[in-house]
Amino acid sequence: MRPELMNALAVAYLGDAVFEVYVREYLLTEKGIMKPHELQKASIKYVSAYAHAGFMKYALSRNFFTEEEVRLFKRGRNCKGHSVKK
């Protein structure tokens, strides 16, 4: 898979899914949360637009990502969907 050739919304969608997997693993292994309802409540603190923005600001300030990863992040962040709310 070559993300630089993919639609930016698709890359952002995939990135969000990967991020959520890491959060779920953290909550299970590090925090020891095992009940589904508690996992859902705890994950919202990490997997929200607000929390994601805070994490990215922190990671970018510490040069956590490669230049290519930063480019892909910015492509996904700046891409706007054309869906209409129900």
- The residues assigned a catalytic role are 16
Nearest by Cα to 25 from 10, 4, 47 = 47
Identify residue 25 by its one-letter amino acid code: E
